[in-house]
Structure 1
Amino acid sequence: MFDARARRALQAPLDRAAAALDRPGITPDRLTVLGLVLGVASAVTAGLALWWVALVLWLLSRLADGLDGPLARRRRRAHPAAGGGEAGGFLDICADFVVYGAGVVGVAVGAAGAHGAPWWPFLLVLLAYYVNGTAFLAFSSIAERTGRQIDDGRSLSFLGGLAEGTETILVHSLWLLLPGSAWQVALVWAGVVAVTAVHRVLVGYRALRA
Protein backbone atom coordinates (compact mmCIF):
# COMPACT_ATOMS: atom_id res chain seq x y z
CA MET A 1 0.00 0.00 0.00
CA PHE A 2 2.85 2.38 0.83
CA ASP A 3 5.48 1.06 -1.59
CA ALA A 4 5.01 3.70 -4.29
CA ARG A 5 5.23 6.56 -1.79
CA ALA A 6 8.16 4.95 0.01
CA ARG A 7 10.06 4.52 -3.26
CA ARG A 8 9.50 8.17 -4.16
CA ALA A 9 10.63 9.35 -0.72
CA LEU A 10 13.69 7.09 -0.61
CA GLN A 11 14.76 7.27 -4.25
CA ALA A 12 17.08 10.27 -3.89
CA PRO A 13 18.93 9.09 -0.74
CA LEU A 14 19.21 5.55 -2.09
CA ASP A 15 20.58 6.87 -5.38
CA ARG A 16 23.17 8.92 -3.50
CA ALA A 17 24.13 5.89 -1.42
CA ALA A 18 24.38 3.78 -4.60
CA ALA A 19 26.69 6.39 -6.12
CA ALA A 20 28.91 6.21 -3.04
CA LEU A 21 28.96 2.41 -3.28
CA ASP A 22 29.70 2.33 -7.00
CA ARG A 23 33.12 0.72 -6.74
CA PRO A 24 34.60 -2.20 -8.73
CA GLY A 25 34.40 -4.64 -5.81
CA ILE A 26 30.76 -3.90 -5.04
CA THR A 27 28.08 -5.29 -7.34
CA PRO A 28 24.27 -5.37 -7.13
CA ASP A 29 24.33 -9.16 -6.83
CA ARG A 30 26.77 -9.01 -3.94
CA LEU A 31 24.49 -6.54 -2.16
CA THR A 32 21.61 -8.95 -2.73
CA VAL A 33 23.60 -11.83 -1.24
CA LEU A 34 24.66 -9.62 1.67
CA GLY A 35 21.01 -8.81 2.34
CA LEU A 36 20.21 -12.54 2.20
CA VAL A 37 22.97 -13.45 4.67
CA LEU A 38 22.01 -10.66 7.07
CA GLY A 39 18.33 -11.60 6.83
CA VAL A 40 18.99 -15.25 7.64
CA ALA A 41 21.27 -14.18 10.49
CA SER A 42 18.42 -12.01 11.79
CA ALA A 43 16.10 -15.03 11.71
CA VAL A 44 18.62 -17.17 13.60
CA THR A 45 19.16 -14.56 16.30
CA ALA A 46 15.39 -14.07 16.60
CA GLY A 47 15.07 -17.81 17.16
CA LEU A 48 17.57 -17.40 20.00
CA ALA A 49 15.48 -14.51 21.40
CA LEU A 50 18.29 -12.01 20.80
CA TRP A 51 15.69 -9.49 19.74
CA TRP A 52 17.73 -6.30 19.43
CA VAL A 53 20.51 -8.04 17.52
CA ALA A 54 17.90 -9.55 15.23
CA LEU A 55 16.31 -6.13 14.67
CA VAL A 56 19.62 -4.50 13.71
CA LEU A 57 20.46 -7.36 11.34
CA TRP A 58 16.96 -7.21 9.85
CA LEU A 59 17.18 -3.47 9.13
CA LEU A 60 20.70 -3.83 7.67
CA SER A 61 19.41 -6.66 5.50
CA ARG A 62 16.59 -4.53 4.13
CA LEU A 63 19.00 -1.64 3.56
CA ALA A 64 21.22 -3.87 1.44
CA ASP A 65 18.12 -5.09 -0.39
CA GLY A 66 17.08 -1.50 -1.03
CA LEU A 67 20.47 -0.57 -2.48
CA ASP A 68 20.95 -3.38 -5.01
CA GLY A 69 18.29 -2.00 -7.38
CA PRO A 70 19.57 1.62 -7.49
CA LEU A 71 23.14 0.36 -8.00
CA ALA A 72 22.00 -1.98 -10.79
CA ARG A 73 20.13 0.85 -12.56
CA ARG A 74 23.17 3.11 -12.21
CA ARG A 75 25.41 0.45 -13.75
CA ARG A 76 22.95 -0.14 -16.64
CA ARG A 77 22.88 3.59 -17.43
CA ALA A 78 26.67 3.66 -17.51
CA HIS A 79 26.97 0.40 -19.50
CA PRO A 80 23.71 -0.22 -21.43
CA ALA A 81 25.11 -3.28 -23.24
CA ALA A 82 26.30 -5.05 -20.10
CA GLY A 83 23.02 -6.91 -19.40
CA GLY A 84 22.53 -9.02 -16.30
CA GLY A 85 19.46 -7.17 -15.04
CA GLU A 86 17.16 -10.17 -15.40
CA ALA A 87 19.52 -12.46 -13.49
CA GLY A 88 19.85 -9.89 -10.73
CA GLY A 89 16.09 -9.47 -10.49
CA PHE A 90 15.66 -13.25 -10.23
CA LEU A 91 18.29 -13.46 -7.48
CA ASP A 92 16.67 -10.57 -5.64
CA ILE A 93 13.17 -12.04 -5.51
CA CYS A 94 14.52 -15.45 -4.45
CA ALA A 95 16.52 -13.80 -1.65
CA ASP A 96 13.45 -11.84 -0.51
CA PHE A 97 11.34 -14.99 -0.26
CA VAL A 98 14.03 -16.77 1.77
CA VAL A 99 14.51 -13.81 4.11
CA TYR A 100 10.79 -13.22 4.70
CA GLY A 101 10.06 -16.89 5.30
CA ALA A 102 13.07 -17.35 7.55
CA GLY A 103 12.06 -14.23 9.49
CA VAL A 104 8.63 -15.66 10.24
CA VAL A 105 10.09 -18.98 11.41
CA GLY A 106 12.77 -17.29 13.51
CA VAL A 107 10.28 -15.06 15.33
CA ALA A 108 7.92 -17.99 15.85
CA VAL A 109 10.69 -20.09 17.45
CA GLY A 110 11.96 -17.24 19.60
CA ALA A 111 8.52 -16.09 20.73
CA ALA A 112 7.44 -19.65 21.53
CA GLY A 113 10.57 -20.32 23.56
CA ALA A 114 10.78 -17.00 25.39
CA HIS A 115 7.09 -16.10 25.76
CA GLY A 116 5.14 -19.32 25.21
CA ALA A 117 3.57 -17.92 22.05
CA PRO A 118 1.51 -20.29 19.88
CA TRP A 119 2.85 -21.33 16.49
CA TRP A 120 -0.35 -21.32 14.45
CA PRO A 121 -0.57 -17.55 13.75
CA PHE A 122 2.89 -17.71 12.16
CA LEU A 123 1.84 -20.73 10.10
CA LEU A 124 -1.08 -18.66 8.82
CA VAL A 125 1.37 -15.91 7.85
CA LEU A 126 3.48 -18.41 5.90
CA LEU A 127 0.36 -19.73 4.12
CA ALA A 128 -0.72 -16.20 3.23
CA TYR A 129 2.81 -15.41 1.97
CA TYR A 130 2.70 -18.55 -0.17
CA VAL A 131 -0.62 -17.65 -1.82
CA ASN A 132 0.35 -14.01 -2.21
CA GLY A 133 3.70 -14.85 -3.78
CA THR A 134 2.12 -17.37 -6.12
CA ALA A 135 -0.40 -14.78 -7.32
CA PHE A 136 2.03 -12.03 -8.17
CA LEU A 137 4.72 -14.30 -9.61
CA ALA A 138 2.22 -16.08 -11.86
CA PHE A 139 0.77 -12.75 -12.97
CA SER A 140 4.21 -11.33 -13.67
CA SER A 141 5.20 -14.32 -15.80
CA ILE A 142 2.01 -14.39 -17.87
CA ALA A 143 1.86 -10.60 -18.18
CA GLU A 144 5.42 -10.56 -19.52
CA ARG A 145 4.61 -13.25 -22.08
CA THR A 146 1.43 -11.49 -23.25
CA GLY A 147 2.83 -7.96 -23.28
CA ARG A 148 0.75 -6.74 -20.34
CA GLN A 149 3.52 -6.21 -17.82
CA ILE A 150 3.49 -3.37 -15.29
CA ASP A 151 6.68 -1.34 -15.62
CA ASP A 152 7.47 0.55 -12.41
CA GLY A 153 11.22 0.15 -12.63
CA ARG A 154 11.34 -3.24 -10.91
CA SER A 155 12.22 -6.56 -12.52
CA LEU A 156 8.75 -8.06 -12.04
CA SER A 157 5.21 -6.83 -12.58
CA PHE A 158 3.88 -6.14 -9.10
CA LEU A 159 0.16 -5.87 -8.41
CA GLY A 160 -0.51 -3.44 -5.57
CA GLY A 161 -2.30 -4.33 -2.36
CA LEU A 162 -2.57 -3.73 1.37
CA ALA A 163 0.55 -5.77 2.15
CA GLU A 164 3.62 -4.81 0.14
CA GLY A 165 7.32 -4.60 0.88
CA THR A 166 7.14 -1.52 3.11
CA GLU A 167 4.43 -2.99 5.31
CA THR A 168 6.29 -6.29 5.53
CA ILE A 169 9.46 -4.57 6.75
CA LEU A 170 7.47 -2.66 9.36
CA VAL A 171 5.61 -5.73 10.66
CA HIS A 172 8.74 -7.86 10.89
CA SER A 173 10.41 -4.99 12.77
CA LEU A 174 7.41 -4.76 15.11
CA TRP A 175 7.72 -8.47 15.90
CA LEU A 176 11.31 -7.93 16.98
CA LEU A 177 10.45 -4.83 19.00
CA LEU A 178 7.46 -6.46 20.75
CA PRO A 179 8.18 -10.21 20.82
CA GLY A 180 5.71 -10.77 23.65
CA SER A 181 2.90 -9.62 21.35
CA ALA A 182 4.33 -11.10 18.16
CA TRP A 183 1.72 -13.83 17.77
CA GLN A 184 -1.17 -11.35 18.02
CA VAL A 185 0.51 -9.14 15.43
CA ALA A 186 1.06 -12.22 13.27
CA LEU A 187 -2.64 -13.09 13.42
CA VAL A 188 -3.66 -9.63 12.19
CA TRP A 189 -0.88 -9.61 9.61
CA ALA A 190 -1.95 -12.99 8.22
CA GLY A 191 -5.41 -11.53 7.62
CA VAL A 192 -3.99 -8.45 5.88
CA VAL A 193 -1.74 -10.56 3.63
CA ALA A 194 -4.65 -12.91 2.86
CA VAL A 195 -6.82 -9.97 1.77
CA THR A 196 -3.96 -8.77 -0.42
CA ALA A 197 -3.61 -12.23 -1.95
CA VAL A 198 -7.32 -12.40 -2.82
CA HIS A 199 -7.16 -8.89 -4.26
CA ARG A 200 -4.15 -9.78 -6.41
CA VAL A 201 -5.81 -12.92 -7.71
CA LEU A 202 -8.95 -11.01 -8.71
CA VAL A 203 -7.14 -8.01 -10.20
CA GLY A 204 -4.62 -10.18 -12.02
CA TYR A 205 -7.35 -12.39 -13.45
CA ARG A 206 -9.31 -9.40 -14.71
CA ALA A 207 -6.23 -7.75 -16.15
CA LEU A 208 -5.23 -10.87 -18.08
CA ARG A 209 -8.78 -11.37 -19.39
CA ALA A 210 -9.04 -7.78 -20.66
Structure 2
Amino acid sequence: MFDARLRRLIDDPLDRLAAVMARCGLSANVVTVTGFAFGAAACAALAFCQYEAALALIALNRVADGLDGALARRLGPTDLGGYLDITLDFLFYSGVPFFFAVGRPEFALAACFLVLSFVGTGSSFLAFAAIAAKRGTTTEARGKKAIYYLGGLTEGAETIAVFVLVCLFPDLFVWFAWIFGGMCWLTTATRIAAAIEAFRVTK
Protein backbone atom coordinates (compact mmCIF):
# COMPACT_ATOMS: atom_id res chain seq x y z
CA MET A 1 0.00 0.00 0.00
CA PHE A 2 2.84 2.40 0.83
CA ASP A 3 5.51 1.00 -1.51
CA ALA A 4 4.92 3.50 -4.33
CA ARG A 5 5.03 6.48 -1.94
CA LEU A 6 8.11 5.14 -0.19
CA ARG A 7 9.96 4.79 -3.48
CA ARG A 8 9.72 8.53 -4.06
CA LEU A 9 11.62 9.07 -0.80
CA ILE A 10 14.31 6.43 -1.13
CA ASP A 11 15.05 6.23 -4.87
CA ASP A 12 17.35 9.26 -5.02
CA PRO A 13 19.71 8.29 -2.14
CA LEU A 14 19.74 4.68 -3.33
CA ASP A 15 20.62 5.78 -6.87
CA ARG A 16 23.52 7.87 -5.57
CA LEU A 17 24.89 5.00 -3.52
CA ALA A 18 24.38 2.61 -6.45
CA ALA A 19 26.48 4.93 -8.65
CA VAL A 20 29.38 4.59 -6.21
CA MET A 21 28.96 0.81 -6.04
CA ALA A 22 28.85 0.53 -9.82
CA ARG A 23 32.16 2.40 -10.07
CA CYS A 24 33.58 -0.15 -7.63
CA GLY A 25 32.56 -2.96 -9.96
CA LEU A 26 29.78 -4.47 -7.86
CA SER A 27 26.93 -6.20 -9.67
CA ALA A 28 23.26 -6.19 -8.74
CA ASN A 29 23.27 -9.97 -8.31
CA VAL A 30 26.11 -9.83 -5.78
CA VAL A 31 24.14 -7.29 -3.76
CA THR A 32 20.99 -9.44 -4.00
CA VAL A 33 22.76 -12.53 -2.68
CA THR A 34 24.51 -10.52 0.03
CA GLY A 35 21.15 -9.10 1.11
CA PHE A 36 19.74 -12.61 1.32
CA ALA A 37 22.70 -13.63 3.49
CA PHE A 38 21.76 -10.80 5.87
CA GLY A 39 18.17 -12.06 5.84
CA ALA A 40 19.25 -15.63 6.56
CA ALA A 41 21.36 -14.37 9.45
CA ALA A 42 18.33 -12.47 10.75
CA CYS A 43 16.32 -15.70 10.69
CA ALA A 44 19.08 -17.46 12.63
CA ALA A 45 19.03 -14.64 15.19
CA LEU A 46 15.27 -15.03 15.57
CA ALA A 47 15.68 -18.76 16.15
CA PHE A 48 17.94 -17.91 19.09
CA CYS A 49 15.65 -15.09 20.30
CA GLN A 50 18.29 -12.46 19.56
CA TYR A 51 15.79 -9.82 18.52
CA GLU A 52 18.06 -6.77 18.47
CA ALA A 53 20.52 -8.53 16.18
CA ALA A 54 17.63 -9.73 14.00
CA LEU A 55 16.33 -6.17 13.69
CA ALA A 56 19.72 -4.86 12.55
CA LEU A 57 20.10 -7.69 10.02
CA ILE A 58 16.60 -7.15 8.66
CA ALA A 59 17.49 -3.49 8.11
CA LEU A 60 20.63 -4.51 6.21
CA ASN A 61 18.60 -6.95 4.12
CA ARG A 62 16.19 -4.20 3.12
CA VAL A 63 18.96 -1.75 2.26
CA ALA A 64 20.51 -4.38 0.00
CA ASP A 65 17.10 -5.07 -1.54
CA GLY A 66 16.79 -1.43 -2.50
CA LEU A 67 20.36 -1.18 -3.75
CA ASP A 68 20.19 -4.19 -6.06
CA GLY A 69 17.30 -2.62 -7.94
CA ALA A 70 19.10 0.73 -8.18
CA LEU A 71 22.20 -1.04 -9.50
CA ALA A 72 20.14 -3.02 -12.00
CA ARG A 73 18.58 0.17 -13.34
CA ARG A 74 22.05 1.70 -13.72
CA LEU A 75 23.87 -1.33 -15.18
CA GLY A 76 20.93 -2.85 -17.03
CA PRO A 77 18.40 -5.37 -15.68
CA THR A 78 18.77 -9.09 -16.35
CA ASP A 79 16.31 -11.96 -16.21
CA LEU A 80 18.49 -13.78 -13.69
CA GLY A 81 18.62 -10.69 -11.50
CA GLY A 82 14.86 -10.36 -11.50
CA TYR A 83 14.47 -14.05 -10.70
CA LEU A 84 16.94 -13.97 -7.81
CA ASP A 85 15.44 -10.80 -6.38
CA ILE A 86 11.88 -12.07 -6.12
CA THR A 87 12.77 -15.65 -5.15
CA LEU A 88 15.14 -14.71 -2.34
CA ASP A 89 12.75 -12.04 -1.07
CA PHE A 90 9.92 -14.56 -0.73
CA LEU A 91 12.20 -17.04 1.03
CA PHE A 92 13.22 -14.31 3.48
CA TYR A 93 9.63 -13.20 4.10
CA SER A 94 8.47 -16.73 4.94
CA GLY A 95 11.64 -17.48 6.89
CA VAL A 96 11.05 -14.72 9.44
CA PRO A 97 7.84 -16.17 10.99
CA PHE A 98 9.10 -19.74 10.67
CA PHE A 99 12.35 -19.11 12.52
CA PHE A 100 10.62 -16.88 15.05
CA ALA A 101 8.52 -19.95 15.91
CA VAL A 102 11.69 -22.06 16.14
CA GLY A 103 12.79 -19.80 18.96
CA ARG A 104 9.32 -19.48 20.46
CA PRO A 105 7.45 -22.76 19.74
CA GLU A 106 4.41 -21.57 21.68
CA PHE A 107 3.74 -19.21 18.76
CA ALA A 108 3.92 -21.91 16.09
CA LEU A 109 0.23 -21.81 15.14
CA ALA A 110 0.25 -18.06 14.56
CA ALA A 111 3.49 -18.39 12.59
CA CYS A 112 1.97 -21.11 10.39
CA PHE A 113 -1.02 -18.87 9.69
CA LEU A 114 1.25 -16.00 8.69
CA VAL A 115 3.31 -18.19 6.35
CA LEU A 116 0.06 -19.51 4.82
CA SER A 117 -1.07 -15.92 4.34
CA PHE A 118 2.19 -15.13 2.57
CA VAL A 119 1.51 -18.03 0.21
CA GLY A 120 -1.77 -16.33 -0.69
CA THR A 121 -0.23 -12.92 -1.35
CA GLY A 122 2.80 -14.40 -3.09
CA SER A 123 0.94 -16.76 -5.41
CA SER A 124 -1.68 -14.17 -6.37
CA PHE A 125 1.13 -11.69 -7.06
CA LEU A 126 3.31 -14.03 -9.14
CA ALA A 127 0.42 -15.59 -11.07
CA PHE A 128 -0.80 -12.12 -12.06
CA ALA A 129 2.73 -11.18 -13.14
CA ALA A 130 3.04 -14.33 -15.29
CA ILE A 131 -0.24 -13.70 -17.14
CA ALA A 132 0.54 -9.98 -17.48
CA ALA A 133 3.87 -10.86 -19.10
CA LYS A 134 2.10 -13.22 -21.51
CA ARG A 135 -0.25 -10.40 -22.49
CA GLY A 136 2.49 -7.80 -22.70
CA THR A 137 0.99 -5.75 -19.86
CA THR A 138 3.48 -3.55 -17.99
CA THR A 139 3.53 -1.00 -15.20
CA GLU A 140 6.13 1.26 -13.57
CA ALA A 141 3.95 2.34 -10.65
CA ARG A 142 6.61 0.94 -8.28
CA GLY A 143 9.57 1.75 -10.47
CA LYS A 144 10.94 -0.26 -13.36
CA LYS A 145 10.78 -3.93 -12.36
CA ALA A 146 11.62 -7.25 -13.97
CA ILE A 147 8.00 -8.41 -13.56
CA TYR A 148 4.58 -6.79 -13.21
CA TYR A 149 4.11 -5.53 -9.63
CA LEU A 150 0.46 -5.71 -8.60
CA GLY A 151 -0.19 -3.63 -5.49
CA GLY A 152 -2.32 -4.41 -2.50
CA LEU A 153 -3.07 -3.64 1.12
CA THR A 154 0.01 -5.54 2.34
CA GLU A 155 3.15 -5.01 0.31
CA GLY A 156 6.83 -4.96 1.13
CA ALA A 157 6.79 -1.86 3.33
CA GLU A 158 3.96 -3.14 5.50
CA THR A 159 5.56 -6.57 5.81
CA ILE A 160 8.86 -5.11 6.98
CA ALA A 161 7.03 -2.82 9.41
CA VAL A 162 5.47 -5.91 11.01
CA PHE A 163 8.87 -7.64 11.16
CA VAL A 164 10.27 -4.60 12.95
CA LEU A 165 7.40 -4.66 15.44
CA VAL A 166 7.93 -8.38 16.03
CA CYS A 167 11.59 -7.72 16.89
CA LEU A 168 10.70 -4.82 19.17
CA PHE A 169 7.76 -6.55 20.87
CA PRO A 170 8.29 -10.31 20.45
CA ASP A 171 5.77 -11.22 23.14
CA LEU A 172 3.04 -9.70 20.95
CA PHE A 173 3.90 -11.89 17.97
CA VAL A 174 0.55 -13.71 18.05
CA TRP A 175 -1.38 -10.46 17.65
CA PHE A 176 0.85 -9.22 14.85
CA ALA A 177 0.67 -12.55 13.02
CA TRP A 178 -3.10 -12.98 13.15
CA ILE A 179 -3.91 -9.35 12.33
CA PHE A 180 -1.37 -8.98 9.54
CA GLY A 181 -2.20 -12.44 8.20
CA GLY A 182 -5.83 -11.38 7.94
CA MET A 183 -4.77 -8.24 6.06
CA CYS A 184 -2.76 -10.46 3.71
CA TRP A 185 -5.91 -12.41 2.88
CA LEU A 186 -7.67 -9.15 2.04
CA THR A 187 -4.78 -8.40 -0.31
CA THR A 188 -5.10 -11.83 -1.90
CA ALA A 189 -8.83 -11.31 -2.40
CA THR A 190 -8.35 -7.91 -4.04
CA ARG A 191 -5.64 -9.30 -6.31
CA ILE A 192 -7.89 -12.17 -7.40
CA ALA A 193 -10.64 -9.63 -8.08
CA ALA A 194 -8.17 -7.52 -10.10
CA ALA A 195 -7.14 -10.60 -12.09
CA ILE A 196 -10.76 -11.46 -12.86
CA GLU A 197 -11.32 -7.92 -14.11
CA ALA A 198 -8.08 -7.72 -16.09
CA PHE A 199 -8.08 -11.21 -17.61
CA ARG A 200 -11.79 -11.88 -18.20
CA VAL A 201 -11.35 -11.04 -21.90
CA THR A 202 -9.31 -13.72 -23.67
CA LYS A 203 -6.41 -12.52 -25.77
- TM bin, normalised by shorter chain, reads over 0.9
Q: Report the secondary structure of 1:156's partner residue.
A: coil
Mean alpha-carbon deviation: is it higher for 89-98 or for 23-32?
23-32
Aligned to 1:187: 178
Deviation of the 1:122 alpha carbon: 1.2
Aligned to 2:5: 5
1:147 to 122, 136, 139: 136
- Aligned-pair identity in percent equals 37
1:85 to 70, 78, 83: 78
Distance in 2, matches of 1:25 and 1:174, equals 36
Contact 1:140 1:149 (C-alpha < 8 Å) held by counterparts = no
User: Does residue 14 of structure 1 match 2:17?
Assistant: no
Structure 1 residue identity aligned to 2:90 = F
Q: Report the secondary structure of 1:22's partner residue.
A: helix
Once the two structures are superposed, residues 15-73 of structure 1 have per-residue CA deviations (whole angstroms, 9 ceiling, x without a partner) of 11111211344110000001111101100111100110111011101111110000111
Aligned to 2:94: 101
Structure 1 residue identity aligned to 2:123 = T
Aligned to 1:138: 127
Once the two structures are superposed, residues 71-114 of structure 1 have per-residue CA deviations (whole angstroms, 9 ceiling, x without a partner) of 111112xxxxxxx52210011001101111111112222233xx
Q: Gapped runs of 5+ residues in structure 2?
A: none
Query: What CA RMSD, in Å, does the superposition of the two structures yield over aligned residues?
Result: 1.3
Aligned to 1:159: 150
Q: Report the secondary structure of 1:15's partner residue.
A: helix
Structure 2 residue identity aligned to 1:149 = T
Distance in 2, matches of 1:205 and 1:194, equals 17
Contact 1:111 1:180 (C-alpha < 8 Å) held by counterparts = no
Contact 2:113 2:181 (C-alpha < 8 Å) held by counterparts = yes
Mean alpha-carbon deviation: is it higher for 14-23 or for 64-73?
14-23
Contact 1:36 1:96 (C-alpha < 8 Å) held by counterparts = yes
Once the two structures are superposed, residues 102-153 of structure 1 have per-residue CA deviations (whole angstroms, 9 ceiling, x without a partner) of 11112222233xxxx4311111111111111111111111111112233441
Distance in 1, matches of 2:102 and 2:173, equals 11
Aligned to 1:169: 160
Structure 1 residue identity aligned to 2:194 = V
Aligned to 1:49: 49
Distance in 2, matches of 1:7 and 1:151, equals 11
Aligned to 2:70: 70
Structure 2 residue identity aligned to 1:66 = G
User: Does residue 119 of structure 1 match 2:108?
Assistant: yes
Contact 2:107 2:173 (C-alpha < 8 Å) held by counterparts = no
Once the two structures are superposed, residues 134-178 of structure 1 have per-residue CA deviations (whole angstroms, 9 ceiling, x without a partner) of 111111111111122334411111111110011111111111111
Distance in 1, matches of 2:19 and 2:28, equals 12
Q: How many residues align?
A: 199
Distance in 2, matches of 1:168 and 1:177, equals 14
